[in-house]
Amino acid sequence: MPEHPVPKAGLEGVIASDTAICNVDEEKSELYYRGYSITDLARHSTFEETAFLLLEGKLPSAKELKEFHKTLSAARQLPAEVEEVLRWLPPATDPMDALKVAVGVLEATSREADSNSFADNRKKAIRLISRMPVIIAAQYHISRQKTVIKPRTDLSHAANFLYMLHGKEPDDFTSKALDTSLILYAEHELNASTFAARITASTLSDMHSAVITAIGTLKGPLHGGANEKAMEMLIEIGEPGKAEAWIQNAISRKHRIMGFGHRVYKKGDPRNPFIKKIAGKLGRRLGNTRWFEISEIVEKVIDREKGLHPNLDFYSSSAYYLLDIPISLYTPLFAAARVTGWTAHIMEQHADNRLIRPRGNYTGPKKRKYVPLKKRG
């Protein structure tokens, strides 16, 4: 039997695929979308422009961006079947499960559902990017027996979600805060959900099926649920004066502190400075700096005691809380941003496909002789 390399737990550091979409520089702790630094994109871009970049491989011209925005906003209206199915779900349905169901219904209503051509995949990608935030807001209201607020085509991607969630048009600062967070969450190389989506796509299954796979993977608390758990922790701490003792106690009990550390970044997440700045500004603007103050103390203690740095999820939690986004929607909103990267990777996989089928390192018993049932005693 041929020898195989000893596998690394969790495939850590293993190169599994070529990709032209995203580059994570481990040594410098830098992140690039299609060659553009996340620093430049977070400072200067919009979610719509970033989505175009990820799907098309280049930054759009002014004309292209205007047309893309028009196409994206025009696709916001959900098929009637989607809203009908959401109403059939039990009110207590997990929003991530509702999102999987809704994406499945979107597939059933798509004329291009089974086509994996680039043109048809692009159409499906735009509709998924456009409609996932609409689904999240609609399901939130339906689960509470409230009226669904219809999407508007004159608002940006971020502003429309906040409008549908709260029933009022957000101001520019609030809209930009969410917009920047969506840029930061939009793509991150072969993370667990993206890799899962590529595995599904490699079987030549369709885009919707691959996205449903990704949503299911993101639902796991070690991938997508950290921002929710981080906010629950901040609420439990309650006030800055209790933060250090709370964290010291959690460390002594070997309790996992969510929102810290990263499989790839060892020197700090390059997205963290931007979301931290947003969280701080939101707190000062709203006259509620409690969560930011607690977060900074937690960050200081974790760095001192564990040598770990906050990842994107940590300060996203309090930023979303100050944006009045329900905690149960943090992970679905992560999905609504990351679907941009998922669909780009699915199209890349379909364009140059080979079935992803790794080997396993067998650790079970050696060859054994079968004993008939009557002789086993």
Question: For residue 341, what are the contacts with CB-CB under 8 A and spacing of at least 6?
Answer: 21, 22, 54, 186, 187, 188, 194
- Active-site choice (188, 313, 345, 350): 313
What is the C-alpha to C-alpha distance for residues 334 and 224, in angstroms, rounded to an integer? 7
262 counts as catalytic: yes
CB within 8 Å of 348: residues ≥ 6 apart: 19, 20, 21
Extract the runs of DSSP E, i.e. beta strands, from the chain.
Answer: 22-25, 30-33, 36-37
Question: How big is the chain, counted in residues?
Answer: 377
Closest-CA residue to 316 (of 253, 229, 237, 375): 229
Catalytic annotation, pick one of 262, 309, 345, 350: 262
Q: How far apart are CA 76 and CA 85, in angstroms?
A: 17
Please name the residues in contact with 13: beta carbons below 8 A apart, sequence gap of 6 or more. none
Q: CA-to-CA distance for 289 and 29, rounded, in angstroms?
A: 29
Residue 116 tokens read as 């994996």
Q: Where are the extended beta strands (E) located within 73-219?
A: none
Q: What distances in angstroms separate CA 340 from CA 48, 170, 183, 336, 370, one per listed residue?
A: 10, 23, 10, 8, 51
| Contact of 31 with 38, CB cutoff 8 Å | yes
| C-alpha dist (Å) from residue 305 to 43, 235, 264, 300, 302 | 32, 22, 20, 9, 5
In contact, 134 and 165? CB cutoff 8 Å: no
Question: Is 313 a catalytic site residue?
Answer: yes
CB contact burial 289-307 (16+ within 10 A = b; e otherwise): bebbbbbbbbbebbeeeee
Sheet arrangement for strand 22-25: 22-25, 30-33, 36-37
- What residues are annotated to the active site? 262, 313
